[in-house]
Structure 1
Amino acid sequence: MRVRRLAAWTALPLAVTLGLAACGSGGDGGSGSDSKAVSIWIGEPKHLVPTNTTETNGDQVLQGLFSPLVTFDAQSKPVMNAAESITSPDNKVWTIKLKDGYTFHNGEKVTSDNYINAWNYGAYAPNGQDANYFFEKIAGYADLQGDAPKAKTLSGLKKVDDLTFQVTLTDPFIDFRSMLNYDAFFPMPEAAFSAPGVLKDSYEAAPIGQGPFKMKGTWQHDSKIEVERYDAFPGEKPKVQAVEFRIYQQLSAAYADLQADNLDVLTTIPAENLSTAQADLGDRYQTSPMSGIQYLAFPTFDKDYANPDVRKAISMAINRDEITKSIFKDTQQPAHSFVSPILPGFRENGGGAATEYNPTEAKKLYEAAGGPKKITISYNGDGGHKDWVDATVNQLKANLGVDAVGVAEPKFADLLTKVEKKQPVGTFRMGWIMDYPSMEDYLGPLFSTNGSSNYYGYSNPEFDKLVKVGAAAPTEDEAIKKFQQAEDILAKDMPVIPLRYQENVFGHSSKVKNVEVDAYQRVNLTKIELAD
């Protein structure tokens, strides 16, 4: 899902990633760093294994360590990258031919086996990979699920030769070629496994990829991840020798380092600095289109939020216009749909009446539905969310007559872990960046019963059916029609509240140039250069 998955930051005017730290808040603020390395702010990743990475921090790192089968052009159409060709006569049986000359950072030649083994590992349920869902469309996936799977490998994967393999899907999927840009579909070398299907515990600390950069040392948790240029990479060569991904706990610390030229790229400007950022940074302040949406999610399995009317009432009690103006200085836009405006099939009011501000009706509906007397909004403290959460809390207090409070978890990974374990967190913030340019990429992973990022326990069989039928449609127009019908069901059930559409608002130091942040909130690591 190249469109990038769970967004850890608030997407405040900006683009991608999470915290950084200097002066005691994580990271080293540049002291002792390689003078030839470009420093980029991220938050602490949850994982660095391709099949287990579904959030933006880990994705930014993996984008340097691996090279995807396809990339996208300016019109979001897939372009061959590590693949020589990806063809299908019926959108169900796909033949993938790899480009020759790719090697892993340990010298292993990249072959079709490396893709097949990695995908089988990701799809095998007992391995507990967060991106397991992405293999659902491949034939044989169901046999790899459950506590005692019937099989260990996908029947839909077949090796043709060392550089060619065939993928058979359960049903036709019009966007499969685009989907292959996602991290879950990266290959892994033989060295990653201690035995067939058994990943080495040490692999995640220093992932071995086949991309333009290789690991330098190991993942320094809550501090930094360093990579250096891999000279044997056959694709477009990076223009910098090394990248230091610095992990900050607070955006304010990262922004201070950016202003002082001690941090080279900050993809999310803190909300409190939005009104002055352009003046602070001058031509180092930039914006670009992106695909992110910020949501407020409900634990639908919690009796306090099990009633859709409670969820709708909370949605109607939030004044999105006021928050986007006062907090985000119009660098984000109020969201009234569940998918991004940049997608084909987007509708201005796909979320229906419940996404419109109506405090009077909200209070009536909330009281009639027996909403909880206290509303908690949990969020990750390293993503710059405090200001908008505080504003939302105040609106809920005023408009619903309830007690409301924001609770910060140290890191996004901490919040996701609690939600996965169904620990009490109340409502919680979620951000989504597309994995690939399709409505299906928002609807399927986030809201399908077994969706990879359905952290709220939402399940509606009719919704699942519509998404499945849409994905198998022979044409884009037919697919969009079904996806829109599925979105109509979300508008009735409201498992999450669409809050804001994001835009990349980012800054860079005077030491770098050609800084690009894409629709997935990622810094383009092959384009960035040292200014000197």
Structure 2
Amino acid sequence: MTVLKKARGAAVLLAAALTLSACGGSSGESSGDQGKQGAGQFSVALNEPDHLTPGNTSSSYSITVLQALFDTLVVIDSKGQTQMRAAESVTSDDQKTWTIKIKPGQKFHNDEPVTAESFADAWNAAAYGPNAWTNNYYFANIEGYDKLNPEAEGAKPDTDKLSGLKVVDPNTLEVTLTAPFSQFPITLAYTGFAPMPKAAFTDLKAYDQAPIGNGPFALDGAWEHNKQIKLKKFGGYAGARPAKSDSVLVKIYASRDTAYTDLRANKVDLLQTIPPASATEAKKLLGDRFVPTASGTMDYLGFPAFDKRFQSADLRKAISMAIDRQGIVDAVYNGTFKPMASLVAPLVPGYRENACGESCAYDPAKAKALFDKAGGFSGTLNLYFSNADPSYEQWMQAVANQLKQNLGIADIQFRKIPAADYLSTLREKKEDGPFRNNWVMDYPSPQNYLESMWGAGNRMGWDNKQFNDLIAKANSASTMDASIPLYQQAEDVALAEMPMIPLWNWQDQAGYSNKITGVQIDPYSPNLDTITVK
């Protein structure tokens, strides 16, 4: 039996599920709040979230806010271990049917009780195809998902409930999966699995603007788009991590550079992502208030494998070998990021430092020979990226220069897409050239990277039965340890065909002002609840 019970002793830390960065917003502070933080209030710099409904966002900007507003069933602590939060236990005898016991006495911010039905309702809404929520596919391994997402074009589901969810009693939820999956408990740390109150379903669009959660902070007033989001301590919170400050002012910025300037000027108290180019200065300026943190975030270059011009694995490998990863990391990221030859981040169990071998090693001569063998490339090579951060364009320019110099591709154009439209461009497969792809780890498992990024419905339009079969076997393994060799075999298959190449692993640098203490940033969360205002 797999049993995960409530952690005792020190308070458990907040879980993370940092996903694909998506949105930017206009720079700014509300003039009425600038320099007028209240007693017990601190400020956090952030880009504009896309949504604030847990099931409908994978943006890291949104998730920072959601982690303050919601308690998930489990969390991942600073050591990467699963601990209980809203759940008392998550158990299974066969890894397929799971029983989740909810801790009694928990409340939403509108005083509704948090029950098993609160989770079932939220998961059904996310899994219901017509809602078109971002996190829909996270529920694909629960029985009945196919009924909510019929494959026939234009077909409408005849149900809006997952048959694999059974509310046994107010504090017990039974979940039946389509196949055994020993890592199911760790997935529940992701904010996409957070509960929703009954009040949400009277108007889901309104709820997205004013979410009602069950976490230590509640929304305080309207979400002022591209300006700010105010949070206040929730007095009725009964969980393990009561807020240590009265309120949080989330200031929305268009760029990290502007946010860093404000951090230096003490106009904002916490910045989770100091621009790499400013890291050396920030370390000297902030001292022990500069917090470097290992990250699960990865950047990749994906190929539209559905386009016949990119269907050659040799062509894709040639492009990989023509890219000087270390040179770009040094020039664009001040040497702070780590060049990668693996599809998963070093934090992840089963990581292999050189899984890719020579296909990810910079070798212009071999790259050109392989490029010629593949028949080369004619016409315009379009490179796609979003405008969410200036560094994206900088490294794409470096890639373009290297492809021109090392492979002789003369006509390269840039397709810079507004951040709010970028993910939909990839989902709808509108790209006709290589594209920046990014993954922010939801939970520390190879499955989170491999199945999510290379599995069914991937953005490259790549499909490989051997890969899919290996992932299915790994998911059904009895333990994480037993699954690792199978995930590694699946990674080898993906690397052999290279529909998407690894580039580098982010290394995060956070910083905070001298107005706050208790900052506990780890790879999984900023832990806003632990912060105290001096």
State the distance in 1 between where 2:285 and 2:140 align. 47
**TM-score relative to the length of structure 1:** 0.91
Query: Which piece of structure 1 moves more, 371-380 or 156-165?
Result: 371-380
Deviation, 1:268, is 1.6
Q: 1:371 aligns with which of 374, 377, 388?
A: 377
After superposition, residues 131-280 of structure 1 pair within 5 angstroms as: 131-146=135-150, 147-194=155-202, 200-235=204-239, 236-280=241-285
Runs of 4+ in structure 1 deviating by more than 6 angstroms, as ranges, are: none
After superposition, residues 6-405 of structure 1 pair within 5 angstroms as: 6-8=19-21, 25-28=27-30, 31=34, 34-36=37-39, 37-146=41-150, 147-194=155-202, 200-235=204-239, 236-369=241-374, 370-385=376-391, 386-402=393-409, 403-405=411-413
Gaps of at least 5 residues in structure 2 are 1-13
Q: Is the 8 A contact 2:19 2:440 kept in 1?
A: yes
1:431 matched to 2:438? The reply is yes
Q: Is the 8 A contact 1:20 1:253 kept in 2?
A: no
Q: Is the 8 A contact 1:20 1:246 kept in 2?
A: no
Deviation, 1:5, is 4.2
State the distance in 1 between where 2:371 and 2:499 align. 16
State the distance in 2 between where 1:303 and 1:223 align. 44
SS of 1:39's equivalent in the other structure is strand
After superposition, give the CA deviation of every residue in 1:463-515 in whole Å (9 maximum; x if it has no partner): 11111110011133331111111101111221211111122211112222222
Q: Which amino acid aligns with 2:383?
A: I
Q: Aligned pair in 2 of structure 1 residues 216, 425: CA closer, same or farther (>3 Å)?
A: farther
Q: Aligned pair in 2 of structure 1 residues 86, 436: CA closer, same or farther (>3 Å)?
A: same
Q: Work out the percentage of aligned pairs sharing the same amino acid.
A: 40
Q: Which amino acid aligns with 1:318?
A: I
State the distance in 2 between where 1:379 and 1:98 align. 42
State the distance in 1 between where 2:459 and 2:137 align. 13
Q: Aligned pair in 2 of structure 1 residues 224, 320: CA closer, same or farther (>3 Å)?
A: same
Deviation, 1:172, is 1.0
Q: Is the 8 A contact 2:385 2:416 kept in 1?
A: yes
Q: Aligned pair in 2 of structure 1 residues 281, 394: CA closer, same or farther (>3 Å)?
A: farther
Deviation, 1:20, is 7.1
Deviation, 1:34, is 3.5
Deviation, 1:372, is 4.4
Deviation, 1:373, is 4.2
State the distance in 2 between where 1:267 and 1:425 align. 34
Q: Is the 8 A contact 1:352 1:491 kept in 2?
A: no
Q: Is the 8 A contact 1:298 1:456 kept in 2?
A: yes
Q: Which amino acid aligns with 1:34?
A: Q
State the distance in 2 between where 1:336 and 1:219 align. 41
State the distance in 2 between where 1:255 and 1:371 align. 41
After superposition, give the CA deviation of every residue in 1:65-111 in whole Å (9 maximum; x if it has no partner): 10011112343221111111111111111111111111111111111
Q: Is the 8 A contact 2:15 2:76 kept in 1?
A: no
Q: Aligned pair in 2 of structure 1 residues 373, 516: CA closer, same or farther (>3 Å)?
A: farther
SS of 1:505's equivalent in the other structure is strand
Deviation, 1:384, is 4.2
Q: Is the 8 A contact 1:251 1:384 kept in 2?
A: no
**How many residue pairs were aligned?**
511
SS of 2:333's equivalent in the other structure is coil
**TM-score relative to the length of structure 2:** 0.90
Q: Which amino acid aligns with 1:143?
A: K
Gaps of at least 5 residues in structure 1 are 10-17
State the distance in 1 between where 2:405 and 2:143 align. 52
State the distance in 1 between where 2:276 and 2:18 align. 22
Q: Is the 8 A contact 1:173 1:471 kept in 2?
A: yes
Q: Is the 8 A contact 2:16 2:191 kept in 1?
A: no
Deviation, 1:408, is 3.3
Q: Determine the structure 2 residue equivalent to 1:526.
A: 529
Name the Cα RMSD after superposition: 2.2
Q: Which amino acid aligns with 1:361?
A: K
SS of 1:440's equivalent in the other structure is helix
Q: 2:477 aligns with which of 427, 452, 473?
A: 473
Q: Which amino acid aligns with 1:47?
A: H
State the distance in 2 between where 1:121 and 1:217 align. 25
Deviation, 1:332, is 1.4
Q: Determine the structure 1 residue equivalent to 2:425.
A: 418
Q: Is the 8 A contact 1:223 1:246 kept in 2?
A: yes
Q: Aligned pair in 2 of structure 1 residues 137, 523: CA closer, same or farther (>3 Å)?
A: same
Q: 1:503 aligns with which of 498, 507, 525?
A: 507
State the distance in 2 between where 1:317 and 1:3 align. 35
Q: Aligned pair in 2 of structure 1 residues 474, 42: CA closer, same or farther (>3 Å)?
A: same
Q: Which has the higher contact order (CA 8 A, sep 6+)?
A: 1
Q: Is the 8 A contact 1:39 1:263 kept in 2?
A: yes
Q: Which amino acid aligns with 1:486?
A: A
Q: Aligned pair in 2 of structure 1 residues 492, 324: CA closer, same or farther (>3 Å)?
A: same
State the distance in 2 between where 1:240 and 1:471 align. 41
